[in-house]
Chain A
Amino acid sequence: MAEIVYLRMRHRIQKKLRDKVLLKDLAQIVADPSSTAILQDLCIYEVSEKDQNIIVVDSTQVLRKIREVNKNIEIQLIGPAQTIIEVVFKRRAMSIPLFIIVWLLLFTGSALTIMNFHEDVSMQYVHQRLYKMITGKEVDKPLIFQIPYSIGLGLGMIIFFNHVFKKRLNEEPSPLEVEVFNYQQSIDQYVIMNENKESMKKLDDR
């Protein structure tokens, strides 16, 4: 009777250029200790200069390699059908000047947009009328209302993103983190469909 090996492909791994991609990197293996020892060091793929920074290894490639070694194994795949290999070239250190430029860009940009927004919705006028409504007096600059308003503006954003510097208000992931995750997930999905030659066959492909 054929031995059963369970494989679970990992979702996403990182490899350097000219690294060998072994089966244990690509997948979690559940099998007898003896066959695990043989299978885990099986080289499935080698990252070369020809590759771009994303490689998709389909599970069928893995199956073929295993069958080359041993035809007498029955493989059960559980989980994802492919693994995305992210080729990490030299770890690019983020430049501090660039970061400062982006920071200042966001800072001045958001300052400008909030001013535009206030003008756009005539907020000064609204504040003046509100001041008159509450106190019965008329003022040109109801700063007692407007300064707390400005501080609250920043506070509201922090509450929404659930972060006060490193401190969290709550253990749930912030919408920002979820958003970054969703974005990564969409990219992965795209890459799985488009970089993987096995998953789409067009008419003119031979």
Chain B
Amino acid sequence: MIANILFVMFIGLAWGTTVGAGYVAFLTVFGIIPRLTQLTKTGNKIYAYEWSVVCGAVCGTIAFLREPTFSLPQILLLFWGLAGGIYVGMIAAALTEVLNVFPLLAKRVGVDDRLLILMMAIVFGKICGSLFHWMYFVP
């Protein structure tokens, strides 16, 4: 019995370790944190940002495993939604950058000077697609 419990605990720990490592590797490839420190000129706070990601991931995991409920005002969700959206948006932007979509497209179509307008197409596409999805598409 104890051996069983220990074995399950070991599996859980191993699982969590690999998923956590994978998550960090994923973030590293996208380079969102360096990008944000560059924009805000807070390169010396990089360790604080690392801990923020780790704490966020752990809190998210606990919240989803234990399902606590708090009776907090609805308005909090407004800010949370905005923050979550910005985060996902940055990942999406980083993904298009990693895949080298823009330079190729600009070369092929010959619009080196209008990259910005093309980028706005993707930005508005994401916003409209997302709004449409939540407001009409989901049952």
Contacts and interface: CB of A to CB of B under 8 A. Distances in A.
A107 interface: yes
A107 B105 contact: no
A134 B129 CA distance: 26
Contacts of B86: 152-153, 155-156, 159
B13 interface: no
Interface in A17-62: none
Interface string A67-106: 0000000000000000000000000101000110011101
A150 B130 contact: yes
Interface size range on B against A: 35 or more
Interface stretch (B3-11, B16-24, B47-55, B94-102): B94-102
A153 B102 contact: no
Given A147-B81, A180-B106, A118 B133 contact: yes
Contact of B85 (A112, A135, A148): A148
Contacts of A99: 109, 111, 114
Contacts of A103: 117-118, 121
Interface stretch (A5-13, A171-179, A189-197, A198-206): A171-179
Contacts of A132: 69
B43 interface: no
B128 A98 contact: no
A4 interface: no
Contact of A152 (B89, B105, B121): B89
Contact of B82 (A133, A148, A166): A148
Nearest to B105: A102
Given A136-B69, A154-B123, 5 more contacts: A114-B133, A150-B134, A156-B88, A180-B112, A183-B107
Interface of A: 92, 94, 98-99, 102-104, 106-115, 118, 124, 129-136, 141-163, 165-166, 169-170, 172, 175-176, 179-180, 182-184
17 contacts: A94-B111, A99-B109, A102-B105, A109-B125, A130-B80, A133-B67, A134-B77, A135-B71, A135-B73, A147-B134, A152-B89, A153-B88, A156-B91, A157-B90, A160-B97, A161-B119, A169-B39
